[in-house]
Amino acid sequence: MSSKSIPGNISADDQARYEQLLAESSNIKGTSQWQDAMKRLRRDRAAMISFYFLIATCLSAIFAPVLPLQSPVVQNLNNQFKPPSRKPVSLIFFEAAKESKEELKQIGLVQKLREFNEEVVAIRDELKLASGDERKKLQTELNNKYEIDHPFFKVWNQPGWLTRQMIHIRLLVFGDYCIPSLCGTDELGRDVLSRVFWGSRVSLMAGIIATLVSLVIGVSYGAISGYYGGFVDAVMMRIVDILYSIPFIFIVIFVMTLISQEKVQAWIESYGLNQLTVFYLIIGLIYWLTMARVVRGQILSLKNEQFVDAARVVGADNFRIIFRHLVPNTMGIVIVYLTLTIPAVMRFEAFLSFLGVGVAPPDVSWGLLVNEGIRVITPVRIYWWLVLFPGLTLTLTLLALNFLGDGLRDALDPRMKNK
């Protein structure tokens, strides 16, 4: 601000003092509610440690195909129930020997991939010269090579396009080298460390997708109910009360049993879905009820505020008021509740997988790994590593989510500002 904006009927000393105050005030920067919340969150050591642990867990799950891990599905019956070991391991799988179909030979993945590429090149060369039925036959053979006979499908469970590209990077960087079986092997000789890493992809995905489904449904339902109030609110909340009284675990078990049938699976796959995706959606459709109640309570306390009246005055319709003005003001409590919903969803997924109605082999999750470990515990011998490592990983992740949720709750609560 220039000196011309200062009244002219004051002394030069007062004018200099005003200019000094203006200069000092211009250097003062305010902080928003979110900036202030982040500052307080950074002071919470447990929440920040949990935050970094969760980031590391998510990154390890995303980039599991790039890491030099053993195959999570290849079975080696000569390596059953091996305790944790540092013995060097290579990325191998077994295939029938050409001399005798009854015998199996070990082959490294890099070598097998090289042979596979040579076969593909040979088929493509023949395809260029072929015509008619012979061309169709070669094209079908080439498609089967990529979709069925690719070496990656023998070492990993149906990897998608992106996963296959990440595996290529892994082979370029590490070759056939694998991290030793630091967490031991299971009853089929599969590496537990690799299965824990690949299982994190399913368990974390279940928590995130199901929570996002519950977020969309719960926030929309609760916001509409709280904003309209009256008869609409009463009917919508009675529906929530009725749904609360339903034992959802039996419904989930029934639905998962139903979609495990071949005809139902084929019908689901015709829509581009699979059993695992349906499982995520079913869990999400269960956990939106509490979210709806939380958001409804927040909307009831906000809908009579002046900023809502101002939005009505400028001509905003109800939809815009709800989702552009009211819902953003509930995001603080919604984010806190999300961090508490994700571990609840992951526990539920682990429980269902433990019962055998959740994630089904050859897919793998932390709950399924714990179930497999407990099944082989006998009075004669306890294979402790089969339960310890998957259970410990699941426990630490759930603890981190709860610590982070508590930290966010305190950081976003204005009443905790000076505590």
What is the per-residue pLDDT across 247-300, written as a single tens digit (0 to 9) for each? 878 888 888 778 777 787 788 877 777 777 887 888 888 888 888 998 998 898
Residue 409 has pLDDT above 80, yes or no: no
**Pair 270, 402 in one domain:** yes
Residue 393 lies in a domain: yes
Q: Which of 38-42, 168-172, 291-295 has the lowest mean pLDDT?
A: 38-42
Residue 119, amino acid:
E
Average pLDDT of every residue of the chain: 82
Rg (CA), the chain: 29
Pairing of strands 177-178, 89-90: antiparallel
Asked if residue 246 is part of any domain, the answer here is yes
**345 pLDDT band (50/70/90 cuts)?**
confident
N-term to C-term CA, the chain: 38
Same domain, 251 and 356: yes
Tell whether 166 and 227 lie within a shared domain: no
Over range 81-106, report the average pLDDT. 72
The verdict on 197 and 111 lying in the same domain is no
Final residue belonging to a domain, choices 175, 208, 242: 175
Does residue 225 sit in the same domain as residue 373?
Answer: yes
Asked whether residue 136 falls in the same domain as residue 257, the answer is: no
Instruction: Band the pLDDT of 1: cuts 50, 70, 90.
Output: very low
The CA distances from residue 55 to 51, 186, 283, in Å, are 6, 28, 23
Three-state DSSP at 158 gives: coil
Q: What percent of the chain has pLDDT over 70?
A: 90
Evaluate whether 181 touches 191 at the Cβ level (below 8 Å): yes
Query: Are 171 and 283 members of one domain?
Result: no
* Domain span holding position 256: 192-416
Residue 302: other Cβ atoms inside 10 A:
18
- Cα 63 from chain centroid (whole Å): 13
Domain end marker among 116, 140, 175: 175
- Omega before residue 362 within 30° of 0, cis: yes
**Dist. CA 291–CA 100, nearest whole Å:** 61
pLDDT tens-place string over residues 209-232: 888 888 899 999 999 999 998 899
Helix 366-375 vs helix 331-355: crossing angle, to nearest 10: 30
Q: 104-108 and 92-96: which strand pairing?
A: antiparallel
Q: Provide the pLDDT for residue 9.
A: 61
Q: Indicate whether 230 belongs to any domain.
A: yes
Least reliable range by pLDDT among 21-25, 156-160, 223-227, 389-393:
21-25
Cβ(197)–Cβ(61) below 8 Å: yes
Q: Which residues pair with 107 in a beta bridge?
A: 93
Q: Which of 66, 176, 65 is nearest to 110 (CA)?
A: 176
Given a contact cutoff of 8 angstroms between Cβ atoms, the answer to whether 210 and 280 are in contact is yes
End position of a domain, from candidates 118, 141, 175:
175
* Residue 367 within a domain: yes
**Of the candidate ranges 46-55, 166-175, 235-244, 275-284, the one whose mean pLDDT is the lowest:** 275-284
Residues 340 and 221 occupy one common structural domain: yes
Count of domains observed in the chain:
2
Tokens 């489904």 locate to 213
Residue 3 has pLDDT above 50, yes or no: no
Tell which wins on pLDDT, 195 or 373. 195
CA dist., res. 319 & res. 308, Å (int):
12
Please determine, for residue 5, whether its predicted confidence score (pLDDT) is greater than 70: no
The alpha carbon of 182 is separated from its chain's Cα centroid by a whole number of angstroms, namely 25
